Every structure is written in C-alpha cells, then in structure tokens.
Amino acid sequence: MMRPFSGDDARARGEWEYALRRLRPPQGPAPRRPLLGRLGALGLGTAVVGASADIADRPRPAAVEKARSQPVASEFANREAPPSVLALRGPKPPAVSAPSPSEIEQAIERGVAFLLARQTADGTWGSFRDSRPFNVLAPVPGAHHAFRAATTALCISALSEIGGDEEQVRAALDRAEQWMFAHLPAVRRATPDVFYNTWAHAYAIQALVRVHSRHRDDPQAQARIRGLIEQQIGMLERYEVVDGGWAYYDFEAHTKKPSGSSISFVTATVLVALDEARQIGCPMPEQQIQRGIASILRQRKPDYSYCYGEYLKYTPMHPVNRPGGSLGRSQVCNLALRRWGDRSVSDEVLKVWLDRIFARNLWLDIGRKRPVPHEAWFQVAGYFFYYGHYYAARCIEELPAAERPFYQAHLARVLLKLQEADGSWWDFPMYDYHQQYGTAFGLMALARCGRETTVTPVGRGLRQAGPDKTVEKAANEIGDE
C-alpha cells in the first residue's frame, strides 16, 4: 500500500501519479504530464462564496441570448462512418440466471430506506465529516459545497425514479427540492485549480428534469424549475475549458475560463444531462455542445475506448487509456455521443462494450474500495465502479427490448451481491459522501434491470424522432482523426 503524502509535500495537492509511477512504471511511453494525480473523485464538488477566482454574474448581450435560445443546428451533410472492426469485437461473458423480481425489489427497498435514513435535517445528503487520515483534494468550503450539491442531486434522481409515492419519499424529495432552489444557484468553483462544481451542475440538471416531471400538473412550478436548469446550463457555459468540453481541475494557467485539459467522461456526463434538459424544452448552448462533442471524438480510439483526458491522447497505450482502463468511461462516452446523433455508436458497439464491462468486471472491481485513486491495474480508481455501471444501465436502455435481458441479468447479479448490510452501495471512501452517491447510482442502475414499475422521466421514451446531426457537425469541424 502506498504511504500517504505528508501535508508538506507539494505533490500532496493531487499529483499522485508521481508516486504511482515510482512504484509501478506505466507501460508504453510516459504521459506528457502527471496523470491521475489529478485526483478528482467521482465527481461531486464545487463552488464557493464569492471568491476572486470566479466571474460576476453579468447580463448577457442580446445576441448571445438569442443564440442560446436556438435549437442545436442539424443542417450539415450526413456522415455515417462505420465503426472500426476493433469496436465490434471483444470478450463475451457467459449467460447468467436473472434474479427474481422479489430479489430486486427487496434490494431497492433497502437502498431507498438507507437514503431516507441518511438525509440530513436541511434536506441534503452527504457531509465533509471524515475520520480518515487523508482524502481527496477538496479546498474548503467550496469543494464541499459542490460535493454536497452533486450528491444531493443524485439522491433526488434516484428517489424520483424508483421511490414511488410513499409519504416518506415525497417528504424527503420536498425537503431536498427546497434546498436545491435555495442553495444551488450559489455553487461555484472552489479555487482557480479545483472546480468540482462541474459535477454539481450536471447532476443538478438531471435531478431537476425529474423534479420537473413530479410537478407535471403545476405549470408555474415547472417554469421555475426550467429557469433553474437554464441557470445551471449557464454555469456549465462559464466553466467550459478553453479547448472545449469540461473538467474539474486546472493545473495550468488558473484562468477565468479554465485552461486545463478536457476530460472525456466529465464532458460525456454533461452532454447526457444536457440531452435530458433539451427534452423538456430548455434552450441548448449549441457552441459548447459542439466543442464538447469534438473533444470526446478527439479522445476516442478505434476500439471505442476513450482517453482519460485530452492531455493523454498522444499516449494512447498508457494503461488508463486501454480497454481495461476505459471500462468505466466508454459506457458514458458512447451514450453521450449516441444521444447527440453519432450513428457509429450502433447497437453492436453498445453491446460489445456491455460485454466488456461484464466479462472484464474484475478490472473495475479490483479498484473498488481502494483508498488511493488509480492505484489498481490499468490505473482504475474505485469511484468508477458504480458510475460505470449506472451508465451501462443507461446503455442497456438504448437496445431493443428483446436484447436487454441478457445484460440486465448480468448487471443485477453484480449489484445484488455487492449491496452492503445497511442497504447501501459504495466504491471509494470519500469523506461522508460515498455511501450516498454510491447508493443513488446503485438504485438507478438496479431499477433498470427489468423492473416494470421503474419511473423513467427521461430516456428511451423521450428519444427525439430522427437522428441528431450534432455529432456530424462536430466531426466535420475537427476532420477525421
């Protein structure tokens, strides 16, 4: 086990790759700069009170407002490049027996009970309190504002999707909704180099889409919710990195518009959230979406594994960029590109990567619960486990109904055997947020394993007619890479 850094060590601020490389040199060429010392635990985090690191809210010029209100353009010539043969082959897991509906229901009930028991008095989930001697880089107070906002958003999404109409669940959601409206607009980046708030804005958008569905009979409430979603979209526009896409660290110039590298899975998480928001009529930031898509395409390899971040695209065989290291990223990246019109992400590509996550599940599992990010094989970090399985569940939803049971059975078996005695799921010890966000991911994934009563306000039922040309536009702009 690697010895934790001392507080005086300059690399303790997150550059752990230095130590990892001393213990286990990476295969292939060395990365251009330290890798996963960029510790960003699965993402939750953000903001702070009016720091000089942030921009003041200013009225936007009329031309900008007009541009934001336009639908994403789709007037570019059709491009349907078939995926490489490398994207269409991979390991195949054996069939497994599906658990009974009662097993799934009991696990979901225990998970819901855990979340209800762990909600705080102010309606949130998660806390900075922790007894561990070291933890991920989290400048106070802003990083914890973001962690709490993102964790709360995920729990809202989980309870909205599968909690049902029980009085306890409704009361918990009402308290959480009130907190979101009161505190979410104030979430900002913590410091010039750490902006976990990207995760908070993305997951808040998804949660608010589900809250919007709860208020289907109240047009006034829905209008207020859409207003808050648009404010969160505006924050994502603000924190887009200079080369397009989104991230959570800026170890470069610490500029007003982040100068750090875009991160593939962060950008994909944002794009999935924006896709849900556009389905309830929210205006989309077209330029940011185009640049985000282009950044993911620049990081995509022929086998549809994705580089961890754009700063690693010139070392494609670095362990974290190989299929074993991409198991927790390819699901969300494939989903995001498909939802924004990339027809090369076919059902076959989705199935190949679903086959991979179950046939090679131990590559993810070996990192689960390890206290140091990226210390496992392929530099997998623990916090990719339930994150990756949640987006795998979303990919399963994209398949024809007849092809889902094989993967739903695998997913259910993974999740059921890992549920903790208290009803939670967790994969990485992170202050007091990990059980809450892990349980939210676990519930939303398990609810997609054939559960007929699942409430899914977004997803396959709201897919727009016809392919979206947004990916084609982005691909045309960056050329064939």
If you average pLDDT over every residue of the chain, what do you get?
Answer: 84
In a domain, 433, yes or no: yes
Output the six-digit token pair for 32: 């251009």
In a domain, 299, yes or no: yes
- According to DSSP H, which parts of 320-404 are helical? 323-339, 347-359, 361-365, 385-398
Q: Which residues pair with 46 in a beta bridge?
A: 144
Contact by Cβ (8 Å): 141, 48: yes
> What pTM does this model have?
0.82
Which pLDDT does position 131 carry in this prediction? 72
Per residue in 125-135, pLDDT (tens digit) is 999 998 777 89
Residue 188 has pLDDT above 80, yes or no: yes
In a domain, 44, yes or no: yes
Which pLDDT does position 473 carry in this prediction? 62
Which pLDDT does position 78 carry in this prediction? 40
DSSP sequence for 102-140: HHHHHHHHHHHHHHHHH--TTS---BS----S------T
Which pLDDT does position 82 carry in this prediction? 76
Which pLDDT does position 57 carry in this prediction? 41
Compare 178 and 39 and report the one with higher pLDDT: 178
In a domain, 66, yes or no: no
Contact by Cβ (8 Å): 172, 159: yes
CATH (domain of 253): 1.50.10.20
Question: Residue 20's domain spans which residues?
Answer: 16-57+78-478
Per residue in 435-463, pLDDT (tens digit) is 999 999 999 999 999 765 444 445 433 33
Contact by Cβ (8 Å): 380, 361: no
Residue 200 has pLDDT above 60, yes or no: yes
Task: Please identify which residue in the block is written with the tokens 């899975």.
Answer: 265
Q: Which residues pair with 306 in a beta bridge?
A: 300
In a domain, 8, yes or no: no
In a domain, 62, yes or no: no
Handedness of CA 34, 370, 441, 307 (dihedral sign): positive
Residue 468's pLDDT band (cuts 50, 70, 90): low
Residue 20's pLDDT band (cuts 50, 70, 90): very low
Residue 29 has pLDDT above 80, yes or no: no
Which pLDDT does position 469 carry in this prediction? 60
Per residue in 372-391, pLDDT (tens digit) is 999 999 999 999 999 999 99
Which pLDDT does position 9 carry in this prediction? 36
As for how many domains the chain has, the answer is 1
In a domain, 339, yes or no: yes
Which pLDDT does position 439 carry in this prediction? 98
Q: How far, CA to CA in Å, does 41 sit from each of 51, 244, 392, 408, 429?
A: 23, 21, 19, 27, 9
Percent of the chain with pLDDT over 70: 77
CA 378, CA 394: separation in Å to the nearest integer?
Answer: 24
